[in-house]
Amino acid sequence: MGSRRHLFVLAFILGATGAGRCAAQDEAGDPGPPHTGGLERLFSDRAGERDADQLIAEEIEDRCIPPLDLNGATADELSGLPFLAPHLARAIADRRAAFGPFASWQEVGSIPGIDAATLDALRRCATLRATQGAHVLTDADVRLRIRMRREERPRDGFASGAYAGPREAVATRLVTRLGEHVLAGIATDRDAGEPSIADHLAGHVTLEGCGVVQNVTLGDYAVSEGQGLVFRRRSGFGKGGDALAATTAGAPGLTPFASSSEAGNFRGAAAHLRAGETSLLGFVSSTRLDASVDSLSGEIISIDESGLHRTVSELRKADRGGAAVAGGAASRTWRRGSAELRAGMTGIATRFSAPVNPPSPLGFGGDRAWAIGAHVDVSLPGMHAFAEAARSHRSSVASILGVSAALPCGTQATMLLRTYPPDFVSLHGCGFGERGGELQNETGVYFGIQWELPKTVTLQAAFDMYRFPAATGLIDIPSAGHDATLLAEWRPGRGTALSVRWRRDSKDASFAAVDACGRDIRPVVARTQESVRAEVRTRAAARWEARFRAECSRTARGAFTPAESGALLCADLRALPCAFVRLVFRAVLFRTDSYDSRVYAMEADLPGSASNAAMSGSGARVTALAQLRAGAGTSLTAQWSRTVQHGAAALGNGSDSVAGDAQGVLSLQLDARF
């Protein structure tokens, strides 16, 4: 009965806020919500990073408040888009300077390096409508989002009483722009089982674009500079999605933070100033940390970044620790003709409320840490090079060096070298690497290349070779690995695209086994995973799109265990039967020998949300979505999904387990624009 009341309230608000609105369509845009094919490829292989995926989805969406104008934005502003590599941002700016404003998205897509995936993503957060500046500005713009999510069957934590809160997960987000210079936002989030409706609370008030003031933010924010060795916001694309965009950190600067994601951010005050070609960034922050504290010594034993406060033990950790941070950056840009040089320095210092007891020999220990760095970026016609070096409080130096270039015959190439010593500690950095942005105990070299043959065919190839000089949490000796990716996409026209991707990942691993004499051993062997993915996408007229995907994988661990395999089939239908209704239906069949040979299913249909769920065992997943649009920016969306894992006695483990082999989820979301 409570869910019905919630649905009625959402429907009532939708009708009230949408009354009298008419859907204003951009002549250069789609008649309905943008398709998600481009972002799905960019999110590819980012499994297990729920908060990071959510943060990226919301950051991309924030670019629509107001939308970035491709006919007025600078190359630096375009580089702020998390999926757009700097060389592509500069190519867009150079093409506009040479031939004038873009008249259609087809012209944008004709730029070498702008493939279908990147073009789809651009259409989500940019416009071609205005030419007077970087953004299309309005006197006032308020956007409200309320999302509720409830699982069909309660998890064991609810049945046993371990979870203190209700079964519904609720997230709210309010972002408003007042005129040209003021932006404010607030977000709350409660996971299922948490007692407080505002268990997570984030918000900010930002003044921007006032003379030398680029941004001044009070509240929550993220900062980025250089390649991220000293500090960088956690949203970014890793290798696997796009061979070229993966290696660059995007635009530097200050980003206000009002997200339901509980990924790390700063809380306090920050300012970004720009006078001519000189840029200054400074910030101070004080945040509380979920931590386990030793009752005798008062030391912080571990820091919990899950953000979950459902059980007694999780609630006991809440806000037990704290961190005070101060940092800044200074940079200057020199330009001569079409050449550009940007150089700068960064620094950050952190002090914890109590000493941290390192969980491993390489982990951070103590109550204070600092890092300083220097970086340089050089842009020439058809080429972009970058480098950064940083030193931490342990006197260890990390470095990263990369170059991307436009070559003849529609070819783009990139190369990146990285060195992160075992004793280097960067608490707030995030950079390119094998282990999800960790800047420690890794060296490697990455190559990526893309060909356009001609505009209807795109070929990509990437190869990464890396080494862990010291023991990791998974293996007790130095180890190494490599991975390779090949991607081919053909776009014959009329909304049809065909793509095939092959990927091979091999790295040293240790696991439990039995030798020929029956003795328990833990051998170190090369664990190799190979996968092949084929996809067909076709668009009928402007209102129907069908996508079909097949994928198979194989995992081998030397001669000690038999090889394991996995397979996935996915059919996806998206429809816009009329101007105010959007429908999505997806069916997935999967079969794997174990979790080690798992496959992934990307979903980014619910506005401002993204997930890349891992699937193992044998089963199926069905998703259906219906969206009712009541005007520009106002909609009510309902999504239902159900996963069946044949033969499973339970799904999940511990308090999160559900007896049986099936689980369904219903999500309701209201988006309103005033």
DSSP one-letter string for 483-505: EEEEEEEEEEETTEEEEEEEEEE
pLDDT of res. 70:
84
Distance CA(491)–CA(455), nearest Å, equals 8
pLDDT of res. 6:
40
Closest CA to 597 of 505, 526, 529, 527: 529
The answer to whether 606 and 586 have CB atoms below 8 angstroms apart is no
Tokens of 252: 């530097």
pTM, rounded to two decimals: 0.84
Q: At what angle do helices 116-125 and 50-62 cross, to 10 degrees?
A: 60
The answer to whether 314 and 305 have CB atoms below 8 angstroms apart is no
Distance CA(90)–CA(75), nearest Å, equals 5
Alpha carbons within 13 angstroms on the beta-carbon side of residue 529 total: 21
Q: Which residues have C-beta within 8 Å of that of residue 674, sequence separation ≥ 6?
A: 17, 140, 141, 142, 143, 144
Task: For residue 234, give the amino acid letter.
Answer: R
The answer to whether 293 and 299 have CB atoms below 8 angstroms apart is yes
Assign 3-class secondary structure to 397-416: EEEEEEEEEEECCCEEEEEE
Distance CA(416)–CA(247), nearest Å, equals 7
Tokens 């995030």 map to which residue? Answer: 430
pLDDT of res. 603:
79
pLDDT of res. 154:
93
pLDDT of res. 43:
54
Tokens 């992160």 map to which residue? Answer: 420
Integer CA distances (angstroms), 64 to 69, 88, 122, 124, 414, in order: 10, 20, 11, 8, 30
pLDDT of res. 23:
32
pLDDT of res. 465:
96
Phi and psi at 29, nearest 5°, equal: -110, -175
pLDDT of res. 540:
75
pLDDT of res. 600:
84
pLDDT of res. 54:
59
pLDDT of res. 246:
64
Mean pLDDT per 10-residue section of the chain, whose length is 674 residues: 39 36 35 46 50 59 66 77 72 84 84 73 73 48 91 93 93 87 92 92 91 92 91 66 68 80 82 93 94 90 89 92 95 89 96 87 86 93 90 94 86 92 92 85 94 82 94 84 92 84 90 73 83 89 86 85 91 90 94 88 77 86 94 88 91 89 94 87
pLDDT of res. 241:
64
The answer to whether 592 and 598 have CB atoms below 8 angstroms apart is yes
pLDDT of res. 614:
83
pLDDT of res. 33:
38
Tokens of 500: 């095939």
* Rounded (5°) CA angle 464-469-471: 115
Paired strand residues for 189: 171, 200
Closest CA to 531 of 504, 561, 571: 504
